[in-house]
Amino acid sequence: MEKIRLRLIHLTRCRGVTRRVIRKFLLFDSTLTKIYELSPLEISKTFSIPLKNASLFHSDLHNLSVRQRLKRDLSMYQNVTIVDDNYPPVLNTIKDAPLVLYTMGDFNLLSHTQMLSVIGTRNPSTEAIAKMEYIVKPLVKDNWFIVSGLAKGIDSFAHHIALRNKGKTVAVVGSGFHHIYPKQNTSLFRQIAENGLIISEYPPDIPPAKFHFPERNRIISGLSFGTLVIEATEKSGTLITVDQALDQGREVYAVPGSPLLPQTRGCHRMIQEGAKLVYSSEDIHEDWETLSKIYGNAKS
């Protein structure tokens, strides 16, 4: 099994193929040995990918420097793959589950069932912190672990509230660990690595890219019992996470606010479309009491 997981990590480090193609590799050969024996043309024909992509993949697959970087990174960071027994069960059930996760901090946090993703706009209103102190802080005190994305604004507030109140928080980031984004959150990144958990599906050397952030959102929602939106504009990227949470069968919550603020319009739209309106932490507790047995079974 150890050799299979190392091969899987190696494949994800090679250019020219997507996660979907790598899943085809696993179906073709669960040991992932035969792929190393194929020529670029055979890879192209067998897995229906352009020859240009197959050639790039084949080149990386047999490139010594790729193997050396992999060996270095595995000595520095914890990791878990989709073929491992300790892969988070809740992620195994979502569409396009990450094949490899790199982690810093306490991986055992992912065995906790009371996990709530707290997300929202990067440009919150002046009311946002008060809302979060009123709703999120009691949840932290009641042993809820907070999951968010380390972005500026609501994400950062969520992580800080958990840390300040001696709670636990998980940050899912959209870049490798050598490229902390945004840079203004470098200190926060280090605090979470020391007192919580940081997760990335991107190798440490990979810088942030625009498409990484919608991708990482499926992990944020997938790890959580529910997603709580504090503030969001009508066209906020936050709503991508909401759509993914709904697709994954997770609960979705939204905090109302003044109709005069653009940061509340996304939440009001969500409530109109069926998200549960949250006035206080008790609204989430009520759902947890009702649904926790079902969700707990999915985590085990």
What span, in angstroms and rounded, lies between the C-alpha atoms of 45 and 59?
17
Q: What is the pLDDT along the chain (300 residues), one digit of tens a residue?
A: 899 999 999 999 999 999 999 999 999 999 999 999 999 999 999 999 999 999 999 999 999 999 999 999 999 999 999 999 999 999 999 999 999 999 999 999 999 999 999 999 999 999 999 999 999 999 999 999 999 999 999 999 999 999 999 999 999 999 999 999 999 999 999 999 999 999 999 999 999 999 999 999 999 999 999 999 999 998 888 888 999 999 999 999 999 999 999 999 999 999 999 999 999 999 999 999 988 766 555 555
In this structure, the answer to whether residues 203 and 120 fall within a common structural domain is yes
What span, in angstroms and rounded, lies between the C-alpha atoms of 207 and 181?
9
What span, in angstroms and rounded, lies between the C-alpha atoms of 90 and 221?
10
In this structure, the answer to whether residues 27 and 115 fall within a common structural domain is no
Q: What are phi and psi of 118, to 5 degrees?
A: -120, 115
Q: Which of 41, 60, 76 is the last residue of a domain?
A: 76
Of the CA atoms within 13 Å of residue 238, those in its CB half-sphere come to: 34
- Measured distance between the N- and C-terminal CA atoms of the chain, rounded to whole angstroms: 21
In this structure, the answer to whether residues 31 and 108 fall within a common structural domain is no
DSSP conformational letter for 258: -
The total domain count for the chain is 2
Residue 139 has what pLDDT?
Answer: 98
What span, in angstroms and rounded, lies between the C-alpha atoms of 295 and 48?
38
- Domain span at residue 143 reads 103-299
Select from 191, 147, 186, 153 the least CA-distant residue to 169.
147
Select from 64, 59, 12 the least CA-distant residue to 204.
12
202 three-state secondary structure: coil
In this structure, the answer to whether residues 157 and 193 fall within a common structural domain is yes
Residue 236 has what pLDDT?
Answer: 82
Q: Does residue 276 lie within any of the structural domains? A: yes
In this structure, the answer to whether residues 63 and 172 fall within a common structural domain is no
Q: Does residue 84 lie within any of the structural domains? A: no
In this structure, the answer to whether residues 47 and 108 fall within a common structural domain is no
Two structure tokens written together for 32: 């992932």
What span, in angstroms and rounded, lies between the C-alpha atoms of 128 and 118?
12
In this structure, the answer to whether residues 52 and 167 fall within a common structural domain is no
3 three-state secondary structure: helix
State the pTM of this model: 0.93
